[in-house]
Chain A
Amino acid sequence: MSGRLALAGSIAGLCVVAAIAGPYVLDSYTVNILVRSFLYAATALTVDILWGYAGILTFGQAAFFGIGAYAAGITFTYLDFSPQNAVLALLAGLAVSAAVAAVTGWISFFHGASPLYVAIVTLAMPIIFVQILYSGGTFTGSSSGLVGYNTFDLSVESWFTICGVGLVVLTTVAWFFVNSDFGRMLVAIRENEQRCTYLGINAPRIKILLMVVMAMIASVAGYAYAGYTVVVAPEIGSFVFGTELVMWVALGGRGTLIGPVLGTIVIDVTTAYLSGNLPFVWKLIIGSIFVLVIVALPQGIIPVVRTALGRMWSAATGRSAMASSFTVPAIVDARAGRRAGAGSDAPALDVADLTRSYGSLKVLEGVTFKALGSELLGIIGPNGAGKTTLMRCLSDGYERTGGTVAAFGQTIARVPPHGVVGFGIGRSFQTTSLFETLTVAECLTLARYRLDGAGMMSRMPELALPDSARHVIAATGLDREMEIECRHLSHGMKRALELAMVLALEPSVLLLDEPTAGLTKPERTLIGNILVELVQREGLCTLIIEHDLDFVRDISTRIIVLHQGKVLLDGSVAEVVGSELVRTIYAGGEHKGAAR
């Protein structure tokens, strides 16, 4: 980390020097253009954080840029320029942008929203903004905008230095932000939002907050633009500018920060020089390059350059340029006693008359049972019996059609999965559902976000895990693979990580959907032993779905048989295994079950 930090620091330092020295070296036309490019680049940076890191494709940053610019333009035109009014305009721009972004975010992000939807809403935003400007008549200057108001008494050179240094600072802060624990969480939300919500992360709220902050940054850039150019016109808040920002980010390289900044500056300056001579041809060339880059180099130009430089560097020095950049956090003990429902007399899980229907099809009907702490409840039943649906209804308050679910006497209302996690219910998935590009350590850190929070600007040096999770990673050897990205793990390791992540949530009720599917016999035994020990030692109420009757018999304290959406049997292991009924359902009894 320190090497990379030093490198980033020296690059930032050089850029600051350049921002101060620039006006003395460059001709005045270039300086003039560059100020504008810096402001565009700052806005492109916000698009990159939203799109490149958090996966929110937005065309709306132009509208926030426009709001900031018009806040300045209107204030200076009608109230005249004064230091007080300058502050007033800045605050007004920030407030309006934040409010509009919050509303947009509320409309765009909700449990189950498609990623395309936010693109649509943000596409509509600049269109609406421009129409509002048109209907504002002379007050907003309609299509010609506002010109020639009094503004800051600053030379072009000062603007250059202020905007240049501002851009360097913003980029540096953004770099720390995206590399922090919080930044990793954004990537996790992009890759697998559903899994994040089951880790207790309120993804919609995080996205709305991010959108509000990015809107405010774009608004400041727009404000500076209005102060510098002394002209505001509808074009700066338009749909076309919104798409141009996305194009610059895509060309530079999304998710790289530096790519979009350099891409914007290079393209904007070139445009300024070329558009005078060949306006249409230049736009045609940009459009063609854009299509080409999207098709052939989806990562953009900067990553390609960086990979090439990295190869040259390692060829020249014999060292790998792509060394691991961050230290792995040390694993420490988690503070005890934060389990939900501790000390409660009510059953850990109380399910009453649970129903789930899709139209006229009833997948679950009248499911009623109680489960206590220190019980390991096996749930068996043939395919299509409704086992996984039951898990879904227990872990997502919106899923069930009727009936009630209570944990430790508290009824679970219709809340999204991240709310259910707050009741102490943790769930693992039937198909491994991890974050492909995150490392093992990052996945575990993510699972701890609900309890430990995440640093906005840094990585935590320590990773606090409860005993149970530490036990799983130690027993399966995951503790030696902390730096490995999840996609490189073996299937068994992935299952173990999945289990460790759920345990890291410190749940009081554990829902496991076929935790041993596709594992070898020794791996299965290992996980089984861990589970039994967990239940006995920590009093964790565990529900486990399994097809392997032998496995269930070995570890369970009680078994529930589901058949065609109803509870067929609920009894001790001996009762259920000895039951004729179960043998009939499984058509051939134990043998077939064991073979699975």
Chain B
Amino acid sequence: MIALALDIITTAAILFAVAAGLLIILGVLKIVNFAHGGFLTIGGYSALVVTQLGWSPWLAYPVAALAGMVMGAVVERFVIRPLYDRPLDAILATWGLGIIIGQLITIIFGREIQFVQTPIAGATSVIGETYSLYRLFLIVAAAAVAAGIAALLNATRLGLEARAVIMNEPLARGLGINSGHVRFVTFCFGAGLASLAGALITPLSSVDPNMGVPWLVNAFMLVLVSSVSLTSLAAAALALGGAQVLVSSFVSPVIGGLTIVVLAALLLRIRPAGFGRG
């Protein structure tokens, strides 16, 4: 029972961390970034490089975030910027980018599954239940990500500008906000977050060039049902992630893998605002 509750909470934490970058980019740039899976993969392989170089596994996180931000900067400048007015085309172009990233990684690292070193090994006892320490650490990490985003949005000038762009872009531009700059920084930040999430999830599984795709679809669904709000995203991750854990444990892992997609699609049909207040 306790293990199940912990599974639900840690799964929700992982889903939240993975989807946060996508949510921010959708909120400010109004485009769905299908290269999100590619950025997750970059994060995973950053962790792999850190492992191969023999550095401390803790360094994987800053390295991954940095790698994601640099890639994000390049991608924003050359691919995203020309597609601001064509959101459906942006989906396709970023999907193409995901393919490019996957193939580049395959060429450099090979297509086989590889493993990275985990910074926290072992298990601990939580109210009499032995549980993986790393999964518990992920709750802290997700909370830190959420706090970081909230602080950036609410306590910095850029965050204020980003919120203005989210609410009403033409008006924000009219007030002298350089929305192009806000978009650029947001995209880099979102890409960095995605890579960080990629590095966070790798110790749980393994890295391979297509590791991002299954995460992409779930993250995408969660973001759509949370109508650009971090609190709604947390609620959606907990509700749908919880449903996934329950279905996987009691019905079948295969159907469990579909839970988020199916529930989110049905939820959007019944209530288009999803978990948001709308």
Contacts and interface: CB of A to CB of B under 8 A. Distances in A.
Nearest to A115: B88
Interface in B125-161: none
A243 B95 contact: yes
A433 interface: no
A131 B106 CA distance: 25
A583 B261 CA distance: 59
Interface in B79-126: 79, 82-83, 86-89, 91-93, 95-97, 99-100, 103-104, 106-107, 111
A387 B187 CA distance: 42
Interface stretch (A29-37, A280-288, A341-349, A369-377): A280-288
Interface SS of chain A: helix, strand, loop or mixed?
Answer: helix
Given A107-B266, A120-B221, A131 B254 contact: yes
Interface in A89-127: 107, 110, 112-117, 119-121, 123-124, 127
Interface of B: 32, 78-79, 82-83, 86-89, 91-93, 95-97, 99-100, 103-104, 106-107, 111, 213, 217, 220-221, 224, 252, 254-255, 257-258, 261-262, 265-266, 268-269, 272
A14 to B, nearest CB: 32
A294 B258 contact: no
Given A121-B265, A128-B261, A287 B89 contact: no
Given A284-B100, A290-B99, A117 B252 contact: no
28 contacts: A107-B266, A112-B272, A116-B32, A116-B88, A123-B217, A123-B220, A124-B265, A127-B217, A127-B258, A131-B257, A135-B252, A135-B254, A246-B92, A280-B103, A280-B106, A281-B107, A284-B100, A284-B103, A284-B107, A287-B99, A288-B100, A290-B96, A291-B79, A294-B92, A294-B96, A295-B82, A295-B93, A296-B82
Contacts of A115: 88
Contacts of B255: 131, 135
Interface SS of chain B: helix, strand, loop or mixed?
Answer: helix
A127 B255 CA distance: 11
A298 B266 contact: no
Contacts of B221: 120, 124
A246 B104 CA distance: 22
* Closest A-B pairs by Cβ, 5 of them: A287-B99, A284-B103, A291-B96, A290-B96, A294-B93
A110 B269 contact: yes
B106 A298 contact: no
Nearest to B111: A280
Given A120-B220, A127-B261, A287 B103 contact: yes
Interface of A: 57, 107, 110, 112-117, 119-121, 123-124, 127-128, 131, 134-135, 239, 243, 246-247, 250, 280-281, 283-284, 286-288, 290-291, 294-296, 298
A124 B262 contact: yes
